[in-house]
């Protein structure tokens, strides 16, 4: 009896999984914010350059965490489309935001996971001891840099390399890959439209209830001699149903399933996440709102690149020692309804636990910013609902799946 009682006590005192434990060398999150996401070419942010968007995101995030800009040692930003990798303009944005010249800047391009990859780059620098505090995030102005999904006319590809089919598949447009997923896994147009409608409906509800308000920092623009504050996502279509989406024509093939309504929107926006070593954050009295645990990545065939999260998420869970049901919710980027629906069903996830506030179909997908946007949205949702853990995941062009685990400490 006594032994049973002792076993019960020690079980109660068990520290639990390693990813929930707190250590001084943990990489913690001090603040995570984003700009509003607005429609490319016609939204209010379309007149701004990426340095404008990023500067606003950096300033707002620093202010929200009460962080002295002089403490920031390195900034890494994910961005996909700008010339020269956006390195110059991101450095300009850092300086304009008041982060001193001694702080260094870099950019990273891992397609749609670039914002998450930038966060991981900063986290790895903290873990290795190179820095104590840094900012990871992402920015994209689709308005200024988006071009049709083909190679520029002056860019030539090696005829020798493209003889290899899988290498040649890397040139395939994302729209083509979406249709390949639908064909390979025998999806129906109705199922895709039902998923997309749910994304719009969740985002509409979240916006009406003010769920996005705390994660968005304002951007101020000058128009007609007036200063306008932009702090509201404008891609959410109120009243969307599967029936209304069913009236839209396919955009890639006349007999295809992907439409403008069940695919991610072209969008402008930026997001930033301040990370620090836990011991340093505690010493400086900085708020600790979450913990970065780990990112993993895996390759999949480029012709069905959207299936990436279905293989990256299990790899992540195995490495951290968690089951899929132990995770409170998942933020899986909605590049297309086809691919995210496949991933959910393949993994056997509860639909209610995936993108509870909608995703990129409703909010938009500013390529380089999306991963960091998902982190900001995830932390905000976790705080409101008392959730402890969440996974951010996405597919990437050329056939990649990326996933990372975060812990809420708010």
Active-site residues, by number, are 112, 365, 395
Q: Of the candidates 339, 341, 320, which has an alpha carbon nearest to the alpha carbon of residue 407?
A: 320
**Using an 8 Å Cβ cutoff, are 391 and 288 in contact?**
no
Alpha-carbon distance 36 to 15, whole Å?
39
**Using an 8 Å Cβ cutoff, are 306 and 341 in contact?**
no
Q: Of the candidates 115, 150, 156, 154, which has an alpha carbon nearest to the alpha carbon of residue 135?
A: 115
Backbone angles phi, psi at 126, to 5 degrees: -70, -45
Q: Of the candidates 304, 329, 326, which has an alpha carbon nearest to the alpha carbon of residue 399?
A: 304
Is 319 exposed, middle or buried (CB count within 10 Å of its CB: 0-12, 13-18, 19+)? middle
**Using an 8 Å Cβ cutoff, are 30 and 63 in contact?**
no
Alpha-carbon distance 58 to 275, whole Å?
13
């Amino acid at each position: 009896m006594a032994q049973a009682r002792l076993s019960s006590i020690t079980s109660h005192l068990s520290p639990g999984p390693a990813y929930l434990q707190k250590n001084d060398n943990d990489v913690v999150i001090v603040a995570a914010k984003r700009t509003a996401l607005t429609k490319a070419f016609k939204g209010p942010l379309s007149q701004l350059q990426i340095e404008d968007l990023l500067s606003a995101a950096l300033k707002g995030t620093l202010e929200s965490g009460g962080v002295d800009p002089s403490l920031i040692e390195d900034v890494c930003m994910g961005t996909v489309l700008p010339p020269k990798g956006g390195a110059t303009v991101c450095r300009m944005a850092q300086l304009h935001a008041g982060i001193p010249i001694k702080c260094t800047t870099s950019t990273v391009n891992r397609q749609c996971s670039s914002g998450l990859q930038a966060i991981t780059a900063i986290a790895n620098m903290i873990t290795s001891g190179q820095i104590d505090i840094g900012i990871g995030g992402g920015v994209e102005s689709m308005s200024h840099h988006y071009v049709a999904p083909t190679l520029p006319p002056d860019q030539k590809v090696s005829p020798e390399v493209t003889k290899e089919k899988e290498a040649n598949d890397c040139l395939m447009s994302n729209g083509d890959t979406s249709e390949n997923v639908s064909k390979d896994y025998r999806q129906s147009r109705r199922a895709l439209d039902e998923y997309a409608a749910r994304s719009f409906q969740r985002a509409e509800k979240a916006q009406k209830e003010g769920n996005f308000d705390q994660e968005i920092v304002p951007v101020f623009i000058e128009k007609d001699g007036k200063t306008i504050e932009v702090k509201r996502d404008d891609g959410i279509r109120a009243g969307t149903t599967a029936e209304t989406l069913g009236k839209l024509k396919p955009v890639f093939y006349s007999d295809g399933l992907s439409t403008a309504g069940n695919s991610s929107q072209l969008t402008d926006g930026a997001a930033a996440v301040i990370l620090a070593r836990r011991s340093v954050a505690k010493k400086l009295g900085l708020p600790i709102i979450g913990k970065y645990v780990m990112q993993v990545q895996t390759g999949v065939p480029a012709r069905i690149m959207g299936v990436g999260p279905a293989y990256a998420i299990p790899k992540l869970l195995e490495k951290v020692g968690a089951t899929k049901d132990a995770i409170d919710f998942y933020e899986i980027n909605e590049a297309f309804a086809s691919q995210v629906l496949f991933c959910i069903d393949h993994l056997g996830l509860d639909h209610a636990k995936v993108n509870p506030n909608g995703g990129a179909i409703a909010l938009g997908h500013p390529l380089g910013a999306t991963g960091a946007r998902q982190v900001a949205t995830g932390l905000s949702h976790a705080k409101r609902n008392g959730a402890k853990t969440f996974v951010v995941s996405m597919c990437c062009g050329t056939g990649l799946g990326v996933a990372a685990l975060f812990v809420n400490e708010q």
